[in-house]
Amino acid sequence: MSARLFVERGYEAVTMGDIASALGISRPTVYSYFASTEAVLEALLAERLRALLERLEPLLGSLDPLSPPAGCPSPLVAIFRFLLGERDTLALLHSGGGPSFRARRHAFLNELGARLQLHPGLHIRRYPALLLIVTTLLDGLAFRATTDPSVDTEQLVESLDTFVRSGVRPWLEGSGDT
C-alpha cells in the first residue's frame, strides 16, 4: 500500500501520516517499525529489487548473446522488455533524488551489471565503460518508457534492438571477443 503512495506521488510528497492512513493504522505504529519515510522506501526497494533480480536470472540464463535466432530480439532487448514490466519498481527506484536514492540506483545498476557480466556470451565484462553504458541505457529507457505516455514503446524496442545489433555487437566482434 505504501509502495503505491511512493509510485503515485514520489518520495518527497509522502509523509508517515499518509502511510499510516493508507495502512489503516496510527502514525506511532508506523514509527515503531520505521524511523522515517526514507526507511519505509528503503525497505520496499530492498525487497522489490531483490525479487526483480531473482526473476531476471532465468531470463539471463536463456539468452543467446550475439546470435539470437532469426526474428528474436537481442539479449539486451529481452532484458529491456523485462524491465518494462517492472513499472512500479522502476518508479520506486527513481522516486527520490537525494544521496541515498542515488546510491540505491547505482547499487541496483551495479548488481544488474554484475549479473550481465556473468552471462557466458556477453563479453562486456572486459569493458567497464560499455557495461556502464548498457546498464544505464536499460534503466533510463525503461523508466522513461514506463512513465511517459508519449513514448511509443514498440518503436523504442525496435530502435534499441537496431542500436544493439549495429552498435554493441560489432564493437564486441571487432574486439575479438565473440
- pLDDT tens digits, the chain, 178 residues: what are they? 788 898 888 888 999 999 999 999 999 999 999 999 988 988 888 899 899 989 988 887 776 555 555 666 677 788 888 999 998 888 888 887 678 778 888 888 888 888 887 776 566 667 777 788 888 888 889 989 988 999 999 999 888 888 776 766 665 565 545 4
Does residue 7 contact residue 95 with C-beta atoms inside 8 Å?
A: yes
The closest of 128, 136, 141, 130 to 171, measured between CA atoms, is 130
- pLDDT at residue number 178: 46
Phi, psi of 122 (to 5 degrees): -90, 105
pTM of the predicted model, to two decimals? 0.76
Kindly give, in sequence order, each residue whose CB lies less than 8 Å from that of residue 25, ignoring residues fewer than 6 positions away.
none
Contacts of 134 (CB under 8 A, 6+ apart): 76, 113, 116, 124, 168
pLDDT confidence of residue 21 = 95
For residue 68, what pLDDT is reported?
A: 57
Structural domains in the chain? 44-174 (1.10.357)
